[in-house]
């Protein structure tokens, strides 16, 4: 990471946040993970995604 420019570091940080955001608990995976899923409306999902990109 040290060799990256500041813009690239920001891009990597955002990409990692997006990766974590998209791997939140899903209801369909509950039987495999044991973690209860959560329902989030499309509007809230888009809002959260946009907040990461800003």
The residue with tokens 């998209």 is: 22
The alpha carbon dihedral of 37, 39, 42, 46 has a sign of negative
Q: Which fold has domain 6-53?
A: 1.10.1140
Domain limits of the chain?
6-53
pLDDT (0 to 100) of residue 26: 80
- In the predicted model, what is the mean pLDDT of the chain? 89
Closest CA to 48 of 27, 29, 22: 22
24-48 pLDDT per residue, tens: 778 888 888 888 888 889 999 999 9
Any residues with CB less than 8 A from the CB of 13 and at least 6 apart, and which? Answer: none
Residue 53's H or E segment, with its range, is helix 42-53
């Amino acid at each position: 990471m040290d060799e990256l420019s500041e813009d690239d570091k920001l891009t990597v940080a955002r990409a990692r946040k997006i990766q974590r955001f998209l791997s939140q608990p899903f209801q369909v995976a509950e039987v495999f993970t044991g973690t209860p899923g959560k329902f989030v409306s499309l509007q809230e999902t888009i809002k959260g995604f946009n907040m990461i990109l800003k």
